[in-house]
Amino acid sequence: MSKLKDEKELLKKAIRVGMRYGENRGVVKFEATDSANDKIEFIYRLLVHDKLIVPLPQEQLSLVAMKHKLALWASKLPDKA
């Protein structure tokens, strides 16, 4: 798993877009007290459930891998998202 250029910024974009997606879908209401790690895990699982991203193999499932997967997803989103 190679690090993406601007991976931190892409992860922030993925969290922002993923939160909006989950709330618009009506499946979640994020609170200010929710940790970034909780948001990342929820968004990852929601996108896998909705078949928007391919799930990681069970043996590779970790927070670091989820962050990378979300950054990859965000890199493919339009710039205005």
20 membership: H or E segment, kind and range: helix 7-25
> Quick one: 7-75 is in which CATH superfamily?
Uncharacterised protein PF16691 family (1.20.120.1930)
Residue of 58, 63, 55 lying closest to 36 (CA atoms): 63
> Other C-beta atoms within 10 Å of 58: how many?
6
At 5, is the pLDDT very low, low, confident or very high (cuts 50, 70, 90)?
A: confident
In this predicted model, what pLDDT tens digit does every residue of 36-68 receive, in sequence order?
Answer: 999 999 999 999 999 999 999 999 999 999 999
Mean pLDDT of all residues in the chain?
Answer: 92
| pLDDT at residue 72, as a whole number | 95
Whole-model pTM? Answer: 0.90
Please, which residues have CB within 8 angstroms of residue 25's CB and are 6 or more apart in sequence? 46
> Other C-beta atoms within 10 Å of 31: how many?
8
The domain limits of the chain are: 7-75
> Other C-beta atoms within 10 Å of 5: how many?
7
